[in-house]
Amino acid sequence: MSAYWVCFIGVINRELLRFLQQRERFFAALVRPLMWLFVFAAGFRSALGVSIIEPYETYITYEVYIIPGLMGMIQLFNGMQSSLSMVYDREMGSMRVLMTAPMPRWFLLSGKLIAGALVSILQVYVFLLIAFAFGIELPLEGYFRVFPILIISGVMLGALGMVLSSWIKQLENFAGVMNFVIFPMFFLSSALYPLWKIAESSELLVELCHVNPFTYAVEMIRFALYGKFNEMAFGITCGATVLFIMVAIMGYDPAKGILQKGPRK
């Protein structure tokens, strides 16, 4: 068996075992989107009166509209949570041990990103199962079509969190940065409202939504659920993924990033 494959499986197993041992993290990841779905959406139970995927005429309830946004929320929080654990690993020294493995740095970091994406996808499908149990149904084929899309969005959001973790030295500082990144990304997107509806309120807000990579991740998920492919959202999400991974690899380069610094005094 290839040494690369053994290393890859080892990194993924480590992340999955860590996740399974942190049951409170699993439930916390589900509480947030479920609260939005069943509490926030309570006042929006009538049909939106617009198509979910322009220009296709698919009239839906508000609960169904925000499902892709809440799926993205799960992946966004999981990406930040995984990066928080990387900051902790760095302080404890285990991250430095991983980086000294006889494998390319990009391979080790990519393995952690894919493992984090798989964990987030597990959470997403549990969320969809709970939503289905409460009568919120999506096209059956969409549950399968969205899987590869969730891998891309999960890796992108995990890579963004990894960029932050590569430049933040202290664990206590990362929580504040998480909130500073998560909430603007979530609210300044099409997760809760269509972009044209936001444009009716403020041109500035809709422009901020257009430069937010999370917007395109949500739109990519939304289209995939209904058997459509959004080329622009896919291209921008993939481009952002590559950019974030490159910056994260530079951040974890001993010659350029945080690993050249000594232990915190």
Highest mean pLDDT among 51-60, 116-125, 175-184, 194-203: 116-125
pLDDT at 242 over 90: yes
Residues 6+ apart with CB under 8 A from 38: 134
Give the model confidence (pLDDT) of 179-216 as tens digits.
788 888 998 998 888 888 788 888 898 999 999 999 99
- Could you list the beta-strand ranges (E) of the chain: 47-53, 56-61
Read off the tokens for 187.
């609210």
The Cα–Cα gap between 110 and 158 comes to: 10
User: Can you give the pLDDT at residue 208?
Assistant: 92
Report the DSSP pairing between strands 47-53 and 56-61: antiparallel
- The answer to whether 153 and 121 have CB atoms below 8 angstroms apart is no
Q: How many CA atoms lie within 13 A of 79 on its CB side?
A: 32
Give the Cα separation of 231 and 31 in Å (integer). Answer: 32
- Average pLDDT on 48-73 reads 69
Residue 251 near residue 167, CB atoms below 8 Å: yes
Going from the C-alpha of 113 to that of each of 107, 147, 158, the distances in angstroms are 10, 16, 6
The highest-confidence range among 35-49, 87-101, 210-224, 240-254, by mean pLDDT, is 210-224
Cross-strand pairs, 53: 56
**Structural domain boundaries in the chain:** 3-259
DSSP character at residue 259: G
Q: What is the separation, in whole angstroms, between the first and last Cα of the chain?
A: 42
Please, are residues 189 and 212 in contact by the beta-carbon 8 Å criterion? yes
Q: Could you report the per-residue pLDDT of 138-152, keeping only the tens digit for each? A: 888 999 999 999 999
Backbone angles phi, psi at 229, to 5 degrees: -125, 120
> What per-residue confidence (pLDDT) applies to 53?
56
Average pLDDT of the residues in 211-228 = 92
d(CA 181, CA 93): 26
102 secondary structure, DSSP code: S
The pLDDT value given to residue 35: 79
Collapsing DSSP states into helix, strand and coil, what is residue 53?
Answer: strand
Asked whether the whole model's pTM tops 0.75, one would answer yes
CA distance 54 to 154: 25
Residue 26: other Cβ atoms inside 10 A: 16
